[in-house]
Amino acid sequence: MKKAIIGGTGVYGMGGEARIETVTTPYGPVEVDLVTLGNEEVVFLARHGKKHSVPPHLINYRANMKALEQLGVKWIYATAAVGSCNEDFAPGDLVVINDFLDFTKNRPVTFFEGGGEPVGHVDMTTPYCPMLRDHFMAAAKVENITVKGEGVYVCTEGPRFESHQEIRMFRMLGGDVVGMTNIPEAIFAKELGMCYATVGMISNWCTGMQQEQIALHDIETALGNNKEKLTRAFLRVFDQSLDQQQCTCNRSVVTL
């Protein structure tokens, strides 16, 4: 059980034969689906809960990622609904995330809390696993999935959307898409030595990019067109032989 999918907004299951398991972690319990695919099980975790009942600022990110580690997960694909602040990325497009800007405020962002534990620092040269990103791009071609490009994810605290001036600032800093959940998830994966990659599903234009206000029905439409395609591509990668020697994700922590 070494592979997992984390579903963001609009992605609440994988289909197929599944059983529910509750994993007890030092940070709280986590409910996951264990989905049987051929001779192995893939873990599915709904980031916001199956009924989208947990807002982004209240997600127990540490418990979620610790639960996946306890289940033996080494490779993770995640989906993220994002707004676009890049004119080249429109609602309905898919973007592979290659870096981030962290503007969260009130979240635990590390497992290294000191005390009786070693002080740890994690290398963020490649925040998202380059091996999983490359494998996804190859699988997307086979599945006839159009990937618009790669982009920098700006993570805000939420649950409010961003102001016009905030989006202006993010664009000046090099941000391409904006969301509320990818940090600290990506950091925790790296601290735990897991390969992690995120595909952003553009659900809307960010504030001020267009004249129209952000509409829930537009977001749901954009996500609905992509979630099944993404699952097929992820599973195609998981069918392959994956090796953590092809990246540095499990060798990124320096302890003192």
Tens digits of residue pLDDT in 12-36: 556 667 789 999 999 999 999 998 8
Helices (H), ranges, 12-81: 61-70
If pLDDT is split at 50, 70 and 90, which confidence band does 69 have? very high
DSSP SS3 for 182: helix
To which H or E segment does residue 172 belong? helix 164-172
Question: Average per-residue pLDDT in the chain?
Answer: 89
Annotated binding site: 9, 47-48, 180-181
Domains of the chain, earliest start first: 3-255 (3.40.50.1580)
Annotated binding site for substrate: 180
d(CA 159, CA 193): 29
Highest mean pLDDT among 22-26, 116-120, 238-242: 22-26
**Strand pairing partners for 37?**
40
**Strand pairing partners for 77?**
5, 197
d(CA 54, CA 167): 25
d(CA 39, CA 235): 13
Query: In 3D, which of 58, 52, 34, 25 has the Cα closest to residue 192?
Result: 25
Lowest mean pLDDT among 45-54, 127-136, 161-170, 202-211: 45-54
Is the separation of the CB atoms in 191 and 111 below 8 Å? yes
Instruction: Tell me 137's DSSP state.
Output: H
Q: Which residue has the tokens 């609009």?
A: 10
What are the φ/ψ torsions at residue 110 (nearest 5 degrees)? -155, 155
Query: In 3D, which of 68, 77, 78 has the Cα closest to residue 2?
Result: 68
If pLDDT is split at 50, 70 and 90, which confidence band does 7 have? confident
Over residues 242-250, the mean pLDDT reads 93
Alpha carbon of residue 131 to chain centroid = 15
d(CA 240, CA 236): 7
Q: Tens digit of pLDDT for each residue in 135-167?
A: 999 999 999 999 999 999 999 999 999 999 999
Annotated binding site for phosphate: 9, 47-48, 181
Q: Are strands 75-84 and 3-7 parallel, antiparallel or unpaired?
A: parallel
Where on the phi/psi map is residue 114: left (φ > 0), alpha (ψ -120 to 50), or beta?
left
Over residues 182-199, the mean pLDDT reads 97
The reported pLDDT for the residue numbered 227 is: 75
Provide the percentage of residues in the chain whose pLDDT is more than 90. Answer: 70
